[in-house]
Amino acid sequence: MSALRGAWVLAAQCPSRLGTVDVVTRFLKEQSCYITELHSFDDYRGGQFFIRAAFRPEVADFEESTFREQLAARAVEFGMTFELMAPETRLPVVIMVSKADHCLNDLLYRYRTGQLAIDVRAIISNHPDLEPLASWHGLPYHHLPITSETKPQQEAAVKRVVDESGAELVILARYMQVLSAALCHEFAGRAINIHHSLLPGFKGARPYHQAYEKGVKLVGATAHYINDDLDEGPIIAQGVEAVDHAHYPEDLVAKGRDIECLTLARAVRYHQEKRVFLHAGRTVVLAG
């Protein structure tokens, strides 16, 4: 977070055309804003341009509303849409979890120490097991058990908690339930899931034991936005590490947990820092 401390962030996209970099950088210069970080990407296949700039106003009377209005007027010619994030913004989130605590524990540590600029509003679980961890952090814990018969009511309660908390991102930190298509659409672009990257080869229970039996040489994790195709949403971040014959199933499980924690935290940070753009069912991640 140190690179963004004190900086505003502008993230924009528009159809590919001449002058797309200039419209952003020239505007920032005219507004006396010093660019501290700049990344862009032109998708020549999709005909779409993406740009992200972190900047620091060099004037004392910088006004966000005026900045937005003037940039919006300039952006019309390019069909450009943009988001603007103020310095030190903390993204309101709700975390969903089942029984495994490694990803939740890691996120809460990064939240508590300021490594992730998030504001955890609530934790939702279909089990009561992790309530003591939430209580230790002073966070509301909603135990919402679920069965096939009660799934509609449970998901309605999930949505109610998210809506009432004002969360802008839902983090599925090893929440071991398949969300309905309706809830996936409701949370589209604002819910991140994490799973081991042994899929689709080793589905179901004990995937690391299955991988061990096959002599797998790589294990990893994938963090992605959810959609109604199970574990196949637009990918934000992935992590991988080499393993060998000396790694027994329990070693693979332990390594997998570590990678899941790091990969999920990275994906949440990318989202919070507005480095992720969704376009045509995939992501553009301007991570630097």
The residues assigned a catalytic role are: 231
pLDDT (tens digit per residue) in 43-94: 999 999 999 999 999 999 999 999 999 999 999 999 999 999 999 999 999 9
pTM (two decimals)? 0.94
Between vectors from CA 171 to CA 167 and to CA 175, what angle results, nearest 5°?
130
pLDDT for residue 96 is more than 60: yes
Q: What is the pLDDT of residue 177?
A: 94
Q: What is the mean pLDDT of residues 119-146?
A: 98
Please enumerate in sequence order all residues whose Cβ is within 8 A of that of 160, keeping only pairs 6 or more positions apart, or say none: none
Inform me whether the pLDDT recorded for 1 exceeds 80: no
Mean pLDDT across 9-30:
97
Residue identified by tokens 């991102």 is 169
**CA within 13 Å, CB half, 187:** 34
Could you give the percent of the chain with pLDDT greater than 90? Answer: 88
Tokens of 44: 């020549």
> Tokens 């992590």 label which residue?
239
Q: How high is the mean pLDDT of the chain?
A: 94
- List, for residues 233-283, the tens digit of each pLDDT value: 999 999 999 999 999 999 999 999 999 999 999 999 999 999 999 998 899
Contact 103, 194 (CB under 8 A): yes
Domains annotated for the chain, with CATH where assigned, are 2-85 (3.30.70.260), 91-285 (3.40.50.170)
Does 2 score more than 80 pLDDT?
Answer: no
